Every structure is written in C-alpha cells, then in structure tokens.
Amino acid sequence: MQDVLHSAGVQAGHILDLWRLMLGVCAVVFAAVLLAFLWAVLRAPRAGRDTSPDLSALQHNEPRLLRRVAWATALSTLLLFGLVGASVWTDRALAQLPLHGALHVRVTAHQWWWDLQYDDAEPSRIFTTANELHVPVGRPVILTLLSDDVIHSFWVPSLAGKKDLIPGRTAQLQFRADRAGTYRGQCAEFCGAQHARMAFRVIAEEPAAYEAWAARQRQPAAPPADALRQRGQQLFLAGTCVMCHNVGGTDATGRRAPDLTHLGSRQTLAAGTLPNAPEPLAAWIRDPQSHKPGTNMPGHDYSPEDMQALVAWLRGLE
C-alpha cells in the first residue's frame, strides 16, 4: 500500500527510474571496490606455520601507482557527475508534468492530521475533508501545501516525492495517479509525539466515481433520521465538540479540528490511527490520549446511552 518500488503515477515512476539507476551504479562500484580489496588481501605476502613471510614484493614500489589512482579518480568523478546529471534530468521531468485541467487541493498540516480543501473557481463548490485525498485517475493534481504549527512533510511514496510544509510558507506539489487504488501517505518530517500516527490515504478512482464522491462531499450533513441520531446531534452541538469541529448544515462551525461533515464515509479515524467503526469511534471519543498520546482532542466521558447516540449520529454522516 505504501511502496516506493511500485509506482502508480508518472512522477513516482521518474523517481523510481532514478533510484534504480543510482542503485545499479552504486552496486557495481561497491562490487568493484570489494573485488579490489579481496585481490589486495589475497596477493599480500603471508607467513606459513613455520616460515617467515616473503617480503621481497614490498622492496620495490607498486608499478604505475600514479596512473592507476588517476584512472580511479577520473572514473569516480565521471560516475558522480553522471548521477548528478540523472538527478537534474529527473527533476526536470518532474517539473514537466502537463497541468492542464488540474485539480487544486489545499493541504494544511496540523499536529497530527491533514486538512484538505478542494478548491474551485465557484466558491459554493469548495469543500473540505480530512485525512483522505480522493483524486481522479489520469488528471493532474496540484497540491498547495501549508502548515498550521510546525514543519511537516507530505509523502505518498507510490505517487510522488515528498515535500515539506513549512509554517508561513506556501509550497506546491504536482502529481498524477495513473492507476486506480488506495495509496498510503505519511508525514515524513518529525513533527512531535504523534508524527508516526499522522498518516493519510490517497484514493485514486475513475473520474466518474470521483465526481460522484465530490458531489456527495459538497452536500451538507443529512438531518438525523431517527430519535437516537437526533439525541446524538443534540449532544454534539451542546458540548465541547462544536468548539473545534465543523459539521456542514449544523451550528458546528469549528475550524481547528478535522471536518466531520462526512465522517461516516471515511476509512480511518484520527489520521489513520483507528479503523472507522462504531467501537473504535466510541473508544476514541472517550479517551483519545490512550490511542494517540498528546493529541489535542480532549476526552469525553459520556454515559453508554449518550455515547451510543453520538456514535450513531457521527457514523450516519456519510
């Protein structure tokens, strides 16, 4: 799922080619150095059990020493320049991804989750989600990378190289997914206690499926259908949740924590920490610190009935 060696996009393909070239060159050099070392060891004068070593070979200088060292230096320099050239050429190839009709997504990294805002020329079509980046296959994606607190790094090994998100700076990353699938991404710059649990998923799907998903995401949350979910919504809106979370179509408009408008349609909770299912969701709400110590989400000790209602409502936000 997260594999540099199985590229699913043209950008990751370029990087993989460069990696293979470097691996090949370095492997050949490594083998040559080892062979030379082995040869030197084997031809060195050595003593038998009872005889002293024959040191006559050490009496005269190594023949053609200067010429051999010069050749080795020249060859190493040439190889290194070759690798530099390949690196520059790969960088140029990465920059030449055709961006016509690209999808624009604004990625804001937080400790420790990803805020994803799908931009659109028409403001009413902009929507926000978290930790799950859906992209259409074959269409270039331009990510605008921002950070809310410390330096993070956006990395989906199967699709593109990594890029840092630096507070106060704006970075850009372009990629294109050429094969449908789910690809794991990960923060690649140490960003605090839960850096390891700052994952996300890129879900590349056919354009029609993507458009259907985006159309659903643009809708506000559906009103609660039954009494249990109504109770859950009341609990959410009357408590501390609304201070940080946003649920479209309700009074909850917090912007400090992941958007929950369509939480039920996501695969994981807390940036890949837990699977999105009723029990983990209840456990997460009750005591987030035991699953992700240091997270900014406070625990909420609801009664079992209240928790059931709250989870039912949140799971129903699809």
Partner 1 sequence: MSRRPLFLPVITAAALALLLAGCERETRGWRVAPHVPAAASRPAGSALAPGPGASTASAPAAGLPSAAASVVVPMQRIANRYEGNAYAVSQGKRWYRWYNCNGCHSNGGGGMGPALMDAQWLYGSAPAQVAASIVQGRPNGMPSFAGRIPDEHVWQLVAYVRSMSGLVRADVAPGRSDSLSPGWEPETRREPATPRNAPPPTAPASG
* 140 contacts 175 by C-beta, under 8 angstroms: yes
Q: Cβ(109)–Cβ(145) under 8 Å?
A: yes
| Residue 239 in contact with partner 1, rule: CB under 8 A | yes
Burial group, residue 280, by CB count within 10 angstroms (0-12, 13-18, 19+): middle
Q: Does 253 bind partner 1 (CB under 8 A)?
A: no
Kindly state whether residue 190 participates in binding partner 1, applying the rule CB under 8 A. no
**CA separation for the pair 90, 3 (Å, rounded):** 19
Exposed (0-12), middle (13-18) or buried (19+): which is 146, by Cβ within 10 Å? buried
Residue 170 engages partner 1 in binding (rule: CB under 8 A): no
Tell me the window of 86-94, 95-103, 207-215, 234-242 that interacts with partner 1 (CB under 8 A).
234-242
244: contact with partner 1 by CB under 8 A: yes
Rule CB under 8 A: which of 269-288 touch partner 1?
none
Instruction: Choose the stretch contacting partner 1; rule: CB under 8 A; options: 7-15, 19-27, 65-73, 242-250.
Output: 242-250
* Residue 23 burial by Cβ neighbours in a 10 Å radius (0-12, 13-18, 19+): exposed
Stretch that binds partner 1, among 71-79, 222-230, 245-253, 290-298 (CB under 8 A): 290-298
Q: Residue 143 CB, nearest distance to partner 1 (Å)?
A: 21
Instruction: Give min distance, CB of 255 to partner 1, in A.
Output: 9
In the list 24, 220, 278, 293, the residue contacting partner 1 (rule: CB under 8 A) is 293
Complex with partner 1: residue 268 or 296, whichever CB lies closer: 296
294 binds partner 1 (CB under 8 A): yes
C-alpha distances in Å from residue 131, one per residue of 5, 113, 115, 182: 23, 6, 7, 13
Residue 167 binding partner 1, by CB under 8 A: yes
Cβ(256)–Cβ(244) under 8 Å? yes
The answer to whether residue 238 forms part of the interface with partner 1 (CB under 8 A) is: yes
How many Cβ atoms are within 10 Å of 179's Cβ, its own excluded? 14
Told to check if 289 binds partner 1 by CB under 8 A, we report: yes
Whole-number Å distance between alpha carbons of 220 and 183: 27
Q: How far is the CB of 256 from partner 1 (least distance, A)?
A: 5
Which residues contact partner 1 by CB under 8 A? 167-169, 193, 238-240, 242-244, 256, 289, 293-294, 296, 298-300
